[in-house]
Amino acid sequence: DGGITQSPKYLFRKEGQNVTLSCEQNLNHDAMYWYRQDPGQGLRLIYYSQIVNDFQKGDIAEGYSVSREKKESFPLTVTSAQKNPTAFYLCASRWSGVQPQHFGDGTRLSIL
Residue numbers of the site for other proteins (CB under 8 A)? 31, 33, 40-45, 48, 50-51, 56, 58, 88, 90, 92, 94, 96-98, 100-106, 108
Residue 6 CB, nearest distance to other proteins (Å)? 10
Q: Which is nearer to other proteins, 84 or 96 (CB)?
A: 96
The Cα–Cα gap between 109 and 11 comes to 5
Residue 107 CB, nearest distance to other proteins (Å)? 9
Residue 51 CB, nearest distance to other proteins (Å)? 7
24 closest CA partner among 105, 78, 110: 105
Between β-strands 107-111 and 64-66, what pairing exists: parallel, antiparallel or unpaired?
A: unpaired
- In this structure, how many other beta carbons lie within 10 angstroms of the beta carbon of residue 83? 9
